[in-house]
Structure 1
Amino acid sequence: MKPIRITAQEPPEDVKTLAQWLEWREAENRRMFAALDTALHEMAEGFTAQLERDANGHSQH
């Protein structure tokens, strides 16, 4: 299984006000949660596939 890497970003230099920062932070949170959601779905698919292989007697252990 490939490693999961989700990195936080620093706000761009043009973010000067609290309103700009809040807007940027909301977008950044959406980006990170989407990446995490994708990674979790990929992990679940991998686990499901392994369970199916194990159930069919094709375990690679």
Structure 2
Amino acid sequence: ASSPWAEESKLWPRPADDRYVIEDQQCAEFHTLATADDLTADSKLQQRQALINLLDKNWDTG
């Protein structure tokens, strides 16, 4: 299996069960959007597309 952490994990100590758990930081706004139950499906889709567009536009520039 490939992972975004494949290269970095080569430097980590090997755990006994040969499994790693990566806990990334997430912001409250993203969690709210990802788990929203009070929005219509269309509204969720529009908001998620807007987020993806913002990430795509600003990922390398901050």
TM-score of the two chains, using structure 2 as the length reference: 0.38
Q: Which has the higher contact order (CA 8 A, sep 6+)?
A: 1
Question: Is the radius of gyration larger for structure 1 or structure 2?
Answer: 1
